A and B are shown apart, each in its own frame.
Chain A
Amino acid sequence: MDDKILVNLIHPTDATQILSVKVPRGSTTTWLVAQMIDAGFIPPPGQSGQYKLMDTRSSLQMNDGQTLGAAGVVDGGNIRVMHSTSGAAS
């Protein structure tokens, strides 16, 4: 069974809002974002937007699809959720 870790997810526009969750260490960024949307913690990103996750301990932005384990996120770690907007298509 995949071991779980506790992570604190920090809201993208209101950093005082924290969602603490236990998730498998193999959870990916894509999956986490989908779960946060399903849980109503963050709204859908919109047509041209997307969410990125950053481990506040390392200040490194996690890659799309990267797992928490691969990104070095530790038990009790804090993850900042960031909303970004992609540029207009040429």
Chain B
Amino acid sequence: MKPAELVERRRFDHRVVSGMSGDLFDFAAYRTSADLQASRDPVVTTEDAGEASKYRMTLRVPTLIAAGEFRAETVFGVDLDVRDYPLAEPLTWVISDPVPWSPHFQKGSPICIGAEFWTARKGHVTLGDLVVHVARLLNWDEKGRGGGYVGWNGEAIKYHAAHYRGRPLNPGLRYPALPAWLLGAPAEPAPAFEIVERRRLDR
């Protein structure tokens, strides 16, 4: 992908996840890893979105952090600066501590999103899809990866099988939704940021 195309792809990714921000999901975007670590100089305008390649993402999906113990939210990082992005999957890592008690999450390691989720789609997958996918992983809402799969945590798999019998932790959970425009739906009729009045008080 040429540099100009990569900028447009980054702008597209930023627009997608911006349309998903809400109670369940939120993010901050940065230009560099140092900015992300220091939570400084976030990318906040659509004009600069093409420069955003590092994300701190927060998913408020209750997930196991130990047997029978839940954590309400998980913070993770995403780095789009990988060779051959978007054909290659972005780098991911868990920021919050403790990390989810799951075969797909381990401290200091990438989130095991699965080659079939990103790489097999040959670039036809968005950063927003990744958000939904990680939310499903946190909720243990996925098809099993086959008998014998233990990932990073065979003990958690055994616990889940015994207590949830293959079902999600919360079967009724509402996931962050991809923005309607991405799916070809007409734009929202009313702007979400509705200015009622701009005024200056008398001194």
Contact = CB atoms under 8 A, between A and B. Distances in A.
A24 interface: yes
Interface of B: 18, 21-23, 26-28, 34, 38-42, 44-46, 58, 192-203
Contact of B34 (A50, A67, A69, A89): A89
B22 A26 contact: yes
Given A4-B194, A20-B199, A34-B44, 14 more contacts: A16-B203, A18-B197, A19-B195, A20-B196, A21-B193, A21-B194, A21-B196, A27-B192, A31-B21, A33-B44, A34-B45, A41-B198, A67-B22, A89-B38
B201 A18 contact: yes
A87 B116 CA distance: 43
A27 to B, nearest CB: 7
Contacts of A66: 26
Contacts of B46: 34, 38
B45 A28 contact: no
> Lowest 4 A-B CB distances belong to which pairs?
A65-B26, A26-B22, A35-B193, A26-B23
16 contacts: A16-B203, A18-B200, A24-B22, A24-B192, A31-B21, A34-B45, A34-B46, A38-B193, A44-B44, A45-B41, A49-B41, A64-B42, A65-B26, A65-B58, A67-B23, A86-B38
Contacts of B202: 16
B201 A16 contact: yes
Contacts of A74: none
Contact size range, A:
35 or more
Nearest to B26: A65
Contacts of A4: 194
A67 B58 CA distance: 12
A17 B27 contact: no
A89 B38 CA distance: 9
Contacts of A38: 45-46, 193
Interface string A79-90: 000000010010
Residue among A15, A34, A44, A67 having the largest count of chain B Cβ atoms under 10 Å: A34
A30 B27 contact: yes
A50 B26 contact: no
A47 B27 contact: no
A48 interface: yes
A4 B42 CA distance: 26
